Structure formats: C-alpha cells, structure tokens
Chains A and B, each alone.
Chain A
Amino acid sequence: MGVDRRKFLKASAAAGAPFVLGLWIPPKPAMAGVAAPPGASWDREPPVPEVNAWIVIQPDDTVIVRIAQTEIGQGVWTSCAMMICEELQCDWKKVRPEYASSNRDAREQAPAWTLKVPGDGAQDPTGGGTPNMGAPATRNRPGGLGVPDSLYRRMRTNAAASVADGRYYQQLAGAEARERLLLAAARLWNAPVGELVAKDSVITHAKSRRRTTYGKVAHLAAATPHPNPEAIRIKAADQWTLMGTEQKNLDVPDKVMGRIVYGIDVKVPGMKWAAVKACPVYGGDVKSFDFEAIRGRPGVISAMQFGIPDPKLLRNHTFSGGVAVIAESWWQAKTALDAMPIEWAIPPKEGAFNTQNMHAALIASLDEPGRTRVNLGDVDKAFAGAAKIVEATYSTPYLARARMEPGNATVLVTDDRVDLWIGDQSPQETRYSASQITGIPEKDVYLHLCHLGGGYGRNGNGPQAEQAIMIANAHRGTPIHMLWTREEDFIGTTYRAMSVARLKAALDADGWPIAIEVRIGMDKEGFGPDASFNGVSRYFTPNYRFSTHTTTFHVPVGTRRGVGQAANEFYRESFLNELAHAAGKDPYLYRRELIGRTNLPYKADMIKALDMAAEMSGWGTPLPKGKVRAIALEERGGETKGAATISAMVHTVSLSPSGDIKLERVDVAHEEGFGFINPLSVRKQIEGQIHWFYNDAVHQAANLENGRIVENNFDRFPISRMAEDPPELNIRFFKTGHWLIGMGHDRATSVQSAIAEAIAQTSGKRIRDLPFNTHDLSWS
C-alpha cells in the first residue's frame, strides 16, 4: 500500500460519543434471556422460588448456592458453598454453585439479619479479633451508587479475603434457610420444631417417624419468612462437619471436560467481534488511523477510536486511548487491525521512561528524607557504636500478572439496558462503569459473571470492561465481544510496581543486631511499600527505623499476587541471611533467636513454623556441594494482634556449575488458624504460589523502553513449566488460635530469598536484583 493511496482519516477529536467508521447494522431487540450453556450461570430467574437470596432448592433436592465472589482458581465456588452448606445441612453431592446476580445487588438491600455479625459461638477462641466483614468500610464498595448495604455486600474478590470477610453472613444464610425448612416441616406435621432433625437434606421427626426432604418443603419455606431471623446463631467451630474438611472443587468435573464458560467463550446471537490496540505508552492516545486501508477486507464491519478510559472508573489509573476494529470473526478483526496504519500520539514525558532511568530515580529517592514510618530508639547512635555494619541494596522489577485468559468482555447496550458477559473480580465496580459510560442506571445493568482464566490480583484493575463498554455503546443494539491479544493484555493491566530497598544493620560483637534501618523506594501509587516492615521489626533490634520513599512514574500499578509482601519479604529474608552469615550463625537458629526476643503477639506461632519447617526438611544434615537448604519466615499481620497468616518454608535448591537453578524440594509449615475452610484448596494455593514466586525470582521482569513495556508475550515473559516443579513437596499444617487473613496470595514468597541464598552459598555471588536468570550464576 503506497502512502499516496493512504487516506489518513483524522480521528474524531470531538468529545462525547466515539466516531464509528464503516457500515453499521441496525439495532436488534435487547437480549434479556440468552440461554446459558452448560457450565455457565448467567443472570436469570431461578427455576423455583428461592428460600433466601443465597439458596434455591429444587424438588429433586438439588441445592443451588449463589456465590457472590468470582472463581479464579482459588476454589471460592467451593469454599463459599461449604460455608453456606455447613449450616444448611444439605446433601453436599447435590450442591450446584451459581453466580449471584450483581444486578439484583444494585436493587436490593441485604436482609437485616445478615448485617448483625458476628454471631455467637464464632468468636476467635483466643480473642484475636474479628474478620474484616464487620467493618462497614469493607462491606460497601468504593465509589458508585448502588444501594447501601447492598444484598451481596462485598462482591469483590481480592486480598485473599473471600472466606474471612464473607463467613458470618454466608453461614447465617445457610442457617436461616435451614430453620425455615424445619419450620415448614414442623407446620406440615404439626410438631414442635425443636423435635425435628435436619441432615443431608432430609428432615426427620423421630416421635412420629415422619421423614421428608428439603426439596419437598422448599416451596413452603420459600413462601414463609422466618419469624425472628435475628435470633439465629451460626455454629461454633467445634460443631463444624463440612468446614475444615478437604473437599474437591465443585467445578473441576466441568473443567476437565472443557465445559466451563470463561468470558472468552461467550457467544450470543448476533454478536460481532472486536480486536483493539491501545497506545502502548500509558497516557498516550491515537493520532490517526486509516480505516480505508482495511475496509474491504473480509468480514470487516467498522472501526472506531476510543479515548483514554476515565481514570475515575479505574481507581485513578491512566491507561491509554486506542482503536477497535469490529468484524464478523475475531481473527478477521485482529488481522485487519494488524494491517491498519495507526499513528500514536505519545506524550513526551511518558515516552521517555525506561527501566534504567526509572530504577535510577528510585535509588535516588532512597537518599531523600522520605516518609519515616517507624523510628524506635536511637538508630544513629547505635550505628556509631556498631562492631560491624552490614548494608545491602535490593531491587525487584515491574511485574505483570499474565493470567492465561487474555482480557475480554461481551457487551450489549440498548437504549434502556446493558448486558455484560465477563469474568470479573469486581462486578459492582464494573456495573458502575457501565452505568457511567452509557448513562443507563445501575439497576438496568446485567452483568453475567463468568469464570476467569486466572486472576492473581484483580483483573478488574485493567480497562477491559471499560473499553468493551465504550465500543458497544457506540454500536448500540449489537452485542460486541472484545478480545485482547496476548500482547494487548500486557498493555491493559496494572503492574506490580518496581521497587528498591536499602537495608542496613549494626551488629554487636556477637553478631546480633543493635540497629536496623530499612528504606523502601517505590512509585507513589505502588501497593504495600510498608508490608513486612511496618510497626515493628519482625526480627528483634532495640533500635529500628523504617521509611518509604517515592517517585512518580506513568505505569499503572496495582495489586498483584503477593502485593507488598512479595518484594519486601524477599528483601527482609535475604537480608536476614546476609546478617546470619556476617554473624557466623545458622540462618534458622539466628531467626529463631531474634523472633524469640521480640514481643510480637504470635511469636510462638512463628517459632513453631520455623521449627517445623526445619525439622521436616532435615535441616542441618549434610548436602552435596551445589545443593543448599534455605529457610524463611512468611507472615502477614504478624506485627499486631488480630488477623495474621504465618508460615515458614525450607527450600532445597541446587545450582549447577553452569548456573542452572533447580528447586529440588519444598517443606512447608503453615498454620491452620481460625477459619480454615477447605484445606485442599489451601494446599493447592500454596503449590501454585511456589511457582508464582519461583517465576518472580527466576524468570520474570517487565522492562520499559521508550515508555512502553517490552515483554509482552510468554516468549519474553516466561512461565515456569512442568520440569521446574519441585519433585518433592511437603505441606504440613499446625494449629493456632487467631483469625487467618488468607492464603491465596502471599505464601511462598520465601522461594525468592531461598534461591538467592543457595546461589550465594554455592557460587559466592550474592544476587540482590531479581530475576536471577538475568545474572551469570555459573561457578566452579
């Protein structure tokens, strides 16, 4: 195509509705009730009246349980169902989870009895605090309209908090339904309800030898409210029969058949496909594009520009503007888009960022005063009197989540209703976005939740929904399925912020710290710079100073699996290893002693975790040269009394003379805490996180060049494979008495410091910048 034939169309700069080029198809009738394929559960009326907003029981005793969190592989469909069914006392084999309706959530308030939490008998046995759920701040979503105390409250799947935050009201929902079923049977038999017993969906009355099933009385229960739901109490932990047992995930049978419907699989009648390209530099936009160049290609229908999605809808993240091509099939749209000339408008400041200048800016920030968060004792004086000073500077790169399913959403906008089919971890926020972009009220937004092909820290942090809504809003009446390429998915996501850390310790003559100073540098918007170091040092030191330092970059940063703990525990535990070596002490016993000297509320649990992991691993028994055991503590919330999650791991790592890393064995000691619902899911989450942090440690980095992310597919952003799985993996749980925070995102951070330690012990090289595979690790 010659330049002379190229008719660059100046993209519409007018504010308001985007300008669509090309043939448009006349609007079709709204699609209220598209049939859901097997494996999908889309917003629809239940087949029989519900007992309450969480439970529908069919005459054949099938129990439909409505789940208000999103399944991303963490097992929430199963653990939420377990919490409800523990109380419902139904036949677990007949339980079918389904997504709760976020549309209904926009219209209805939660029943008053679910707002009064916690219930009797479910207090933390050691008084270690209540779950977040009790706090109104987490009960209501930020921004948006909806209704206060909306029906399903926190329809957001993040912070590994689905179980902790939802347990009370989900158990109550199960209990309320059970009580109503019992009352219905009692009324039918004219028997005192106290004499009836409910078990496995069967209600019996021993005296009159009568028996019925939930399915037979559900319609009566559904029609009769409970006279005093406030009096219903949930079971105490010692009465649990389902919660706390290993249960296989309820959606696995569909997953092994390829039947689960992810967002990408959605197909609705009349649907067209959209492929998009957003400006690869955040904050950038489209200067021009030439639709004429592709107009005649097979299947191509139209093209349009969309602006930078409103940052207010995206937690103040600025992504970029872009172009969409709409075609009959996605492949047609994608190949046409690839062939279409596009010129980007790249803002000069954003376009000048690269990894080197950003890293240098962060390092420089460490010498600025920063924000002092902790200052205990007299750090400077202690340094002046130190027998030995150890100082180390570490860094970790930007990192993408790189879920396997690329971002996508199917949206149909008509004049009075929006339908969205999407895998989404924050449907309430997306519902709000849809309403803001289209001007259609939230109560008329129907968001049909799909499973997600991975989440790892909230897919909702990216503009997939907003882009798709903008495109569909410009094509009212026609459902548009927008799908990103893998490369586009790397643009449309928030990143974990790059960070740097300078740790400095003054040791006494015996090698014990008399002062520790920690400085963390991170983008101003970065999440969790204070993790793992705030409040009080986890390892005892009489003098402690902790400060955070910031600069401002253009890459949108968000919560990625591990959040602040991921990098900060790498820094902290690596530094502890360095200190132990400087002190000439065993890294396990050094940690043990230093935790023992603190006043940390759960120090006994921390020591227990270290002892157990060390013992499991055969700590201290000889290993051949090139093989090293390294230990680390993992904790979240360990600095204050309340909810916490504590584990310790020993990683046995080998390093070949040519520098190949192999994780040989992992020994995990993890607490059970209070509120451990499905131990099988916890095991799976730990197994998965070993790979997650192995990838962070060994393979992955997102670099910037001219303001754009360089690594945008799995060839350059590698994912570990089967051959890298540790051949031996032992996980043991031990009892503790406080609330757990969650196990889905910051376990196994220790892989990082452990591999660093193995490299140091074997090759003499102390690597402080991740990932390891960018360094020469060879030794002889």
Chain B
Amino acid sequence: MAFELTVNGRRHRVDADPDTPLLWIIRDQIGLTGTKFSCGIGQCGACTVHLDGKPVRSCSLKAGLAAGKQITTIEGISKDGTHPIQEAWKAFDAPQCGYCQSGMIMASLALLKQNPRPNDADIDAAVTNACRCGTYHRIRKAIHRAAELMRA
C-alpha cells in the first residue's frame, strides 16, 4: 500500500505496509541511515526522530501513523553539521563509537526546543537514551553548551 511521508521537509511516496515501523521506512525506503536500529523495542532511543518536533522512538511507531506529520531526522537538522547542537557536540568531542549519537542529538534537541534552559534534572528526565560507550558526561556538557548557543 502506498502512502506519503514528509521527512526533513521533503515529501516521499512510500510503497510499503503502513504497519512497518517508521525506522525501517526511513532507513530502507527513504535511504536516510543516520537514524539507527539497536533494540527494536523502544528501550534505547538510537532510533529517535522528531514527529512534529516531539521525540519519538521510530522503531516502535507504525509508519502509517506518521503520515501527514513533519518527520525530522539527524540529516534534517543542518546541511553541513553546523547546527548549534552539532557544534556543541564537536566542541566536547562527545561521541565515541557514535552509534547512539544521532538519537542522543535528536532527543536533546527536542528538549532544548521545549526548554531553552534545562537544568541537570531536566536533562536526566528528558534524555533517557542509552549509550553503551558511556558518553553521558560529555553529552550533558554539550547540551548545556548547545542551550547557550541556541539562545544567542
């Protein structure tokens, strides 16, 4: 069955079962592989994208339910990696293996859009993604830096 999805401002006609998780449509059909698969059960957040600005775990969302909404992936936040949150991430050299980082950035960005001055407790509550490499210390610093950059 065909349906339409809007990803990073572009409309895509997708020919797939609308019950397919959004993650696999984004990765396989639309070809944006920055969004990652890890647990497939909504536990880790590696697959986080924005749906109308809100963070969702795309492995656990049927693609059909995203029709008519604005989907944003890591590839959509800037063309050249210069979004303030990406600059902040680079400033602290936050990623290790990097596999969780697209999801981390998307979860953190959703927080910053809704709360431009998050404190540590706000970050703990909103950014619940898993990073097996344990990059949390740098991510926290990077979120605070990104908040500053985004307010400026």
Residues of A within 8 A of B (CB): 71-75, 248-249, 251-262, 264-265, 267, 298, 329-331, 402-406, 451-456, 483, 485-486, 680, 684, 687-692, 713-715, 719-727, 729
Contact = CB atoms under 8 A, between A and B. Distances in A.
Nearest to A408: B37
A719 B43 CA distance: 10
Given A687-B137, A722-B124, A725-B137, A404 B41 contact: no
Contacts of B145: none
Given A252-B93, A260-B98, A713-B39, A329 B24 contact: yes
Contacts of B34: 257-259
Nearest to B75: A258
B71 interface: no
A252 B95 contact: yes
A717 B132 CA distance: 12
B38 to A, nearest CB: 5
Contacts of B75: 257-258
Contact of A721 (B27, B32, B46, B129): B129
Interface of B: 16-17, 20-21, 24, 27-29, 31-41, 43-44, 46, 73-75, 78, 81, 86, 89-90, 93-102, 105, 120, 123-125, 127-140
A424 to B, nearest CB: 14
Contacts of B81: 253-254, 256-257
A723 B97 contact: no
B6 to A, nearest CB: 18
22 contacts: A248-B93, A252-B95, A257-B81, A258-B32, A258-B33, A258-B75, A330-B24, A330-B28, A404-B36, A453-B38, A453-B98, A687-B137, A691-B131, A713-B43, A714-B43, A714-B44, A715-B41, A722-B136, A722-B140, A723-B124, A727-B120, A729-B137
State the 6 A-B residue pairs at the shortest beta-carbon distance, nearest first: A258-B34, A691-B134, A453-B99, A73-B97, A73-B96, A255-B98
Contacts of B139: 722
A729 B78 CA distance: 32
Contacts of B35: 258
A723 B139 CA distance: 12
A65 to B, nearest CB: 19
A73 B95 contact: yes
Contact of B89 (A252, A264, A331): A252
Given A258-B34, A331-B20, A404-B46, A688 B135 contact: yes
A721 B96 CA distance: 16
Contacts of B95: 73, 249, 252, 255-256
Contacts of A404: 36, 38, 44, 46, 97, 99-100, 130-132
A722 B135 CA distance: 9
Contacts of B74: 257-258
Given A402-B132, A723-B124, A249 B93 contact: yes
A454 B132 contact: yes
Nearest to A725: B136
A778 to B, nearest CB: 23
A683 B120 CA distance: 22
Contacts of A73: 95-98, 133
Interface centre among A257, A406, A452 (most CB of B within 10 A): A257
A719 to B, nearest CB: 4
A265 B129 CA distance: 20
Contacts of A405: 36, 38, 97, 99
B130 A721 contact: yes
Given A255-B95, A255-B98, A725 B41 contact: no
Contacts of A259: 34
B102 A454 contact: no
Contacts of A249: 93, 95
